Amino acid sequence: MAFEIKICGLKTDEAVAAALDAGADLIGFVFFPKSPRNVTLDEAVRLAAPARGRAKIVALVVDADDASLSAIASELKPDLIQLHGHETPARVAEIARLTATPLMKALPVADAADLAALPTFLPHVARILFDAKPPKTPDALPGGNGLSFDWRLVADLDPALPIMLSGGLTAENVAEAVAVTGVSAVDVSSGVESAPGVKDPVRIRAFVKNAREAAARRARNPRSRP
Catalytic residue status for 131: yes
Is-contact 193 200, C-beta < 8 A?
yes
Q: How many Cα atoms sit within 13 Å of 93 on the Cβ side?
A: 7
Report the alpha-carbon distance of residue 98 to residue 69 in Å, rounded: 8
Residue 150 near residue 132 (C-beta atoms within 8 A): no
Dist CA 68 CA 65 (whole Å):
6
From the list 65, 79, 131, 139, the catalytic residue is: 131
**What b-and-e string marks burial along 148-176, b requiring 16 or more CB atoms within 10 Å of the CB?**
bbebebbeebeeeeebbbbbbbbbebbbe
Residues 57 and 29 sit within 8 Å (Cβ to Cβ) = yes
Asked about 8 being catalytic, the answer comes back as yes
Among 8, 21, 139, 156, the active-site one is: 8
> Catalytic residues, which ones?
8, 131
